[in-house]
Amino acid sequence: MPQKFFSAFVLKYSKKKSKMKILLLDKNHPLIEKQLSAKGFTFEEDFTSTYDEVLEKISNFDAVIIRSRIPLDENFLRHAKHLKFIARVGAGMENINVKVAEELGITLINSPEGNRDAVAEQVLGMLLLLMNRLIISSEEVKKGIWKREENRGEEILGKTFGIIGYGNMGKAVAKRLQGFGAKIIFHDILPNLQDEFASQVSLEELQQSADFISLHLPINESTHYIINEDFISKMKNNFYLINTARGKNVETSALVKALKSGKIKGAALDVLEFEKASFENIEVKNDNLEFLLNSEKVIITPHIAGWTVESKEKLAQVIVDKILLKYS
């Protein structure tokens, strides 16, 4: 069922009136308050209080809707005596202590369906900019510099595109690649995910075949620094790296070393190892970061993959629909 018809269905047939009080800790699309208020939910907005200030009042609420501003760690969750659910407007849940939430019977809701299309479009956009030196050559021409041979690009056609993590985002990328003439493969820890868009392979096979690697992973113990010196050394081909997942999926020192050697031909990074947990800025500066910021082989954006006008509304609508299905 298409999203807009599904949303209309949920709103029409969810009859019960809720008396839940929800704390909004981040600014989101106004449709969240509008649609949930119509079903009896009440709200308090708090976009400025510190962690400790929120902690003092969290026991007064039945639910929290967040993005990334405040970590919902074990201490927070154990103070939240009446919390029934946490809804994150986005995909990743690393700012929430999932294990403790599950132990306490708190339902966790997220909305990766809402920005998968925006992420996929940015992956392709960044890659095409990088491979064809479009930013570099454009800036040169604006300065009166006309270089053709130096700005010769590469094509995706005929190459192998490897995706690590085949959930909402990974699959959306594979779908967008249809028509580019590439072989599309992916690796995922879950079995039997192969579909009409991509073939599932082992990590070793991906390393033997891929000319591109695009990461679409959460951050946890097994994915922290999944791209490190050992991983890179096992790649048969020199390759392009695209990361729109989490900064700590990539060990920056290993990335820089591989960029200098040419093993990594270029990197399109929407996320950095040195970001704040809230994704609001960079909290660490060092020589490796300086290299990335000044390298012609690297494109960096400020954690905006998935950050479109359309995705802002879709993310919010998915959250509303999931809340109403369970609590209305």
pLDDT in tens, the chain (328 residues): 555 545 554 555 445 555 899 999 999 999 999 999 999 999 999 999 999 999 999 999 999 999 989 999 999 999 999 999 999 999 989 999 999 999 999 999 999 999 999 999 999 999 999 999 999 999 999 999 999 999 999 999 999 999 999 999 999 999 999 999 999 999 999 999 999 999 999 999 999 999 999 999 999 999 999 999 999 999 999 999 999 999 999 999 999 999 999 999 999 999 999 998 878 888 888 999 999 999 999 999 999 999 999 999 999 999 999 999 999 8
Length of the chain as a residue count: 328
303 tagged catalytic: yes
Backbone angles phi, psi at 231, to 5 degrees: -60, -50
246 tagged catalytic: yes
Active-site pick, 29, 33, 246, 273: 246
CA distance 134 to 125: 11
CATH no., domain 20-110 = 3.40.50.720
pLDDT at 32: 97
pLDDT at 277: 81
275 tagged catalytic: yes
- Residues contacting residue 27 through CB under 8 Å, at least 6 positions apart: 47
Q: Where in the chain is the domain with CATH 3.40.50.720?
A: 20-110, 116-300
* Angular region, 226: left φ>0, alpha ψ -120 to 50, beta rest: alpha
Environment class of 253 (CB within 10 Å of its CB; exposed 0-12, middle 13-18, buried 19+): middle
| Helical residues (DSSP H) of the chain, grouped into ranges | 3-13, 31-37, 51-57, 74-79, 98-103, 116-131, 134-142, 168-176, 203-209, 229-233, 252-261, 287-294, 309-327
Active-site pick, 33, 251, 273, 275: 275
The one-letter amino acid code at 322 reads: K
The CATH H-level (homologous superfamily) assignment of domain 116-300 is NAD(P)-binding Rossmann-like Domain (3.40.50.720)
Which residues make beta-bridge pairs with 239?
A: 264
Find the angle CA(300)-CA(304)-CA(306) to the nearest 5 degrees.
130
CA distance 255 to 269: 11
pTM of the model: 0.90
Backbone angles phi, psi at 199, to 5 degrees: -105, 135
